[in-house]
Amino acid sequence: MEGVRLVCAFEQPEHPAIGTDSGQLAGGKPNGVLITGGPDVKADVIIDFTTPEATRRLLILGAQEDIGLVIGTTGLKAADHAAIDDAAESIAVVQSPNMSLGVNLLFALAARTAKQLGDDYDIEILEAHHRFKKDAPSGTAMGIAHAICESTGKDPDADLIYTRHGHHDVRERGKITMQTLRMGDTVGEHTAFFSTLGERLELTHRATSRDTFARGALRAARWVGKQAAGRYSMADVLGLEED
């Protein structure tokens, strides 16, 4: 992508990929940037798709070295978000559970739809990923849920339901149910259902290649490298206006 250059790629110091050309490791042509055990050159932005534990360390590194971050790591907890807030006091950070343009439009559309339709419409969120994914529901599904909750004044801790089994009473008005599928090599599929007696609206995003996430992350990196310290989202990167 124009305006972006890879200058360093690093892993845990004991990782077996240390010393491997990062281009070849990614399945492409050699690029001359070897995998190291830590950042060994000055960079403007770190792109982070790792684990919450690694993200916390990278936030410390970014704040110490004045390096912005683009964080796509999922499975973050409240303490992780607090760490991002702390780091964003001194560096620019873009954090999103999904970097694709389409998914971030889905966040905005789902929020607006829920606000317009109200509790007369039942909301269900269904997500599907490959069999190897570790967190459930996905960060993207949680992003949809939180966008809806924010737009409607709901409490994620009280109004999200994560599973159903056995005998239950009728569906409780105003609740949002999350459903998770893990199967094969599914890249990522998310649907927000809005259903009432007589009609159903579905908002669906299907990722068919992980390249879409990489392109979004690069776009975010190019953008955040020019921003003042603060915490940003992909909505900021894309200039999506909120109601």
DSSP string, 108-142: HHHHHHHHHHGGGSEEEEEEEE-TT--SSS-HHHH
Instruction: Compute the radius of gyration of the chain from its Cα atoms.
Output: 19
Non-local (6+) Cβ contacts of 241 within 8 A are none
Is 205 one of the annotated active-site residues of the chain? no
Q: Model confidence over 42-62: pLDDT tens digits?
A: 899 999 999 999 999 999 999
Confidence band of 241 (pLDDT split at 50, 70, 90): low
Is 133 one of the annotated active-site residues of the chain? yes
Cβ neighbourhood burial of 214 (10 Å; 0-12, 13-18, 19+): middle
Can you give the pLDDT at residue 226? 93
Quote the distance between the C-alpha of residue 3 and its chain's center. Answer: 23
> Could you give the CA distance from residue 176 to residue 183 in angstroms, rounded to a whole number?
23
User: Once rounded to an integer, what is the mean pLDDT over residues 91-97?
Assistant: 95
The active-site residue, picked from 115, 133, 146, 175, is 133
Whole-model pTM: value is 0.77
Can you give the pLDDT at residue 193? 98
For residue 113, pLDDT beyond 90: yes
- Going 24 to 26 to 29 to 34, the CA torsion angle's sign is negative
DSSP 21: B
Closest CA to 84 of 107, 108, 62: 62
Confidence band of 163 (pLDDT split at 50, 70, 90): confident
Percent of the chain with pLDDT over 70: 98
User: Once rounded to an integer, what is the mean pLDDT over residues 23-34?
Assistant: 93
The active-site residue, picked from 129, 154, 190, 205, is 129
Work out the number of other CB atoms within 10 angstroms of the CB of residue 228.
7
Can you give the pLDDT at residue 41? 74
For the chain, what is the total number of helices (H) and then of strands (E)? 8, 11
Least confident of 67-71, 130-134, 167-171, 207-211: 167-171
